[in-house]
Amino acid sequence: EAQVTQNPRYLITVTGKKLTVTCSQNMNHEYMSWYRQDPGLGLRQIYYSMNVEVTDKGDVPEGYKVSRKEKRNFPLILESPSPNQTSLYFCASSPREESNTEAFFGQGTRLTVV
């Protein structure tokens, strides 16, 4: 089954404790991205990757890091989480060579930083 898998689905952590949210897709998609969703603000892009070893900042990259060592994986790293990073996070992937194609989303990670 074609899918994007995020883990964990729910996470409560304390300020400053490094964490990683994993994202994996099995569709051989080149393009992957991370979003955060906050009430009234919609989905805002954090980082995106157009291919292996190619990553770039989105609209709200501060406080986040990513890596793309393999095509299927695109982890999101919070080196020192803060309460303002409490949010719902989504990973997405899509084929890069066609612009008019569907983006597939993971099920989301609800992060609370206390």
Partner 1 sequence: RKEVEQDPGPFNVPEGATVAFNCTYSNSASQSFFWYRQDCRKEPKLLMSVYSSGNEDGRFTAQLNRASQYISLLIRDSKLSDSATYLCVVNFNDMRFGAGTRLTVKP
Site residues for partner 1 per CB under 8 A:
31, 33, 35, 40-45, 48, 58, 88, 90, 92, 94, 99-100, 102-103, 105-108, 110
DSSP string, 46-104: EEEEEETTEEEE-S--TT-EE--SSSSB--EEESS--GGG-EEEEEEEE-SS-SSS--E
- Least distance between partner 1 and beta carbon 15 (Å): 24
If you ran DSSP here, which 8-state letter would residue 14 be given?
-
Between 71 and 110, CB nearer to partner 1? 110
The length of the chain is: 114
Nearer to partner 1 (CB atom), residue 77 or residue 103: 103
User: Residue 36 Cβ, how far from partner 1 at the closest point, in Å?
Assistant: 11
